[in-house]
Structure 1
Amino acid sequence: MRPSFDILIVGIGGQGTVLASNVIGEACIIENRSVRSAETHGMAQRGGSVESHVRIDGRYGSLIVPGTADLLIAFDLLEALRYRHYLSASGRLIVNRHLVVPTPVYQQGMDAPDEESILNTLANLDLTCIDAAELAEEAGNILSQNIVMLGAASAEIPLRPESLEEAVRRCVPPKTVDVNTTAFRLGRERGAGS
């Protein structure tokens, strides 16, 4: 028996990776499931990389070992590229069709990567690409992209969608509950359709 279902959520500072991991943790509490999590923030406040490790039903530590993640949820194409080595051979990648080019690329006059070349590099993985910005705008707020991505990945997470949606209600500010539950449902529909 496998000890845990391991989810790595990656993005850059301000994209809401920690909130997304908190929603999964809250859904585990709702279902009375064991959960362990850890975040690394780096230079998050300056647009740096952020990673959130979530281990459902795990008996051991909070950090996921590279090559063992069951699910990688990437809020940015470059972060998907950077963390793809965490996926297991049977792992699944759900990625936002969004690309933030790091400032040093411009400062050092380097060629900026493009969406097509990144997706070509990721093509050998079990991949679903979502335009979270479009769905977040449809839900009513561009800032709900993280919840769109969680909805898109929800079919892969071994928790009931109702538990995840209730966890969204509990974790987001009260004035944004309607927008975020709509974002979750739109993401879930889009993820199921891919």
Structure 2
Amino acid sequence: MKSSFDILIVGIGGQGTVLASNVLGEACILENRTVRSAETHGMAQRGGSVESHVRIDGKFGSLIAPGTADLLIAFDLLEALRYRHYLPPGGRLVVNRRLVVPTSVYQQAIDVPDEESILSALADLEVTCIDAAALAEEAGSILSQNIVMLGAASGKIPLKPESLEEAVRICVPPKTVEVNVRAFRLGREAAGLNPSTP
């Protein structure tokens, strides 16, 4: 029987997947939980895929096998489509309603699927789709989208929301703490969760 809770965070270079995984790791430390994580970087400097594997309470390595993730957090719709095979049927996906079209698509004149067709292709999953960019701007910085996404996913993660919020405070630069805490709470609210933590 599986003893770990496995989270895959995917995005494009510069979107903050590594910071998001660091927040999860810090929250685990705050709760005295075992955590293992690993990042695999594509051509991150050129907008390539970046994936962060986070295993909570696991006894083995950090890399998650396809079809076994408990939660996929995707910072972009195309990345959700690219990594959906990491989830079993009916798996849980929290995705940003943002669509970043890779440069190669323009160079090769490839058709880009729209939001509706992507979400249709993900219909066998339990999907929470939010507009993280709008919420990040409301929080005070477009750069806080990754923390918005963590807030939106927090109800599906077996960690206390107050631990996650404290981890945000620890992991982000001091001058951005207020913005990022607001972003975390707005993400929770967007996912139908109580925005404030005890």
TM-score (norm 1): 0.97
- 1:127 maps to which residue? 127
- Helix, strand or coil: the match of 1:9? strand
Give unmatched runs, 5+ long, in structure 2: 194-198
- Give the AA of the match of 1:109: A
Instruction: Write the distance in 1 (CA, Å) between the matches of 2:3 and 2:29.
Output: 18
The residue aligned with 1:113 is 113
What SS is found at the alignment partner of 1:89? coil
Structure 1: which 4+ aligned runs deviate by more than 6 Å? none
Answer yes or no: is the 8 Å Cα contact 2:89–2:124 preserved in 1. Answer: no
Which moved further from structure 2: 89-98 or 177-186?
A: 89-98
2:87 corresponding residue in structure 1: 87
What letter corresponds to residue 68 of structure 1 in structure 2? T
CA contact (8 A) 2:77 2:96 kept: yes
Give the structure 2 partner of residue 37 of structure 1. Answer: 37
Letter paired with 2:164: L
Report the counterpart of residue 178 of structure 2 in structure 1: 178
Report deviation, 1:90: 4.3
Residue of structure 2 in register with 1:4 after alignment = 4
Specify the code of the residue in structure 1 equivalent to 2:162.
E
Q: Deviations over 1:26-68 (max 9, x none)?
A: 0000000000000001101110000000000000011001000
Over aligned residues, Cα RMSD in angstroms? 0.9
Paired position in structure 1 for 2:196: none
Pairing 1:1-194 to 2, within 5 Å after superposition? 1-192=1-192
Normalised TM-score (structure 2) = 0.95
What is the one-letter code of the residue matched to 1:53? H
Mapped partners of 1:70, 1:192: distance in 2 = 20
Provide the C-alpha distance between the structure 2 equivalents of 1:93 and 1:167, rounded to a whole number of angstroms.
22
Query: Following the alignment from structure 2 to structure 1, what is the Cα–Cα distance between the partners of residues 2 and 89?
Result: 15
Q: CA deviation at 1:91?
A: 2.1
Indicate if the aligned counterparts of 1:155 and 1:192 stay in contact, CA closer than 8 A.
Answer: no
| 1:114 Cα deviation from its structure 2 partner | 1.3
Instruction: Number of aligned residue pairs: give it.
Output: 193
**Alpha-carbon distance in structure 1 between the residues aligned to 2:91 and 2:115:** 22
In the TM superposition, residue 192 of structure 1 has moved relative to its aligned partner by: 2.3
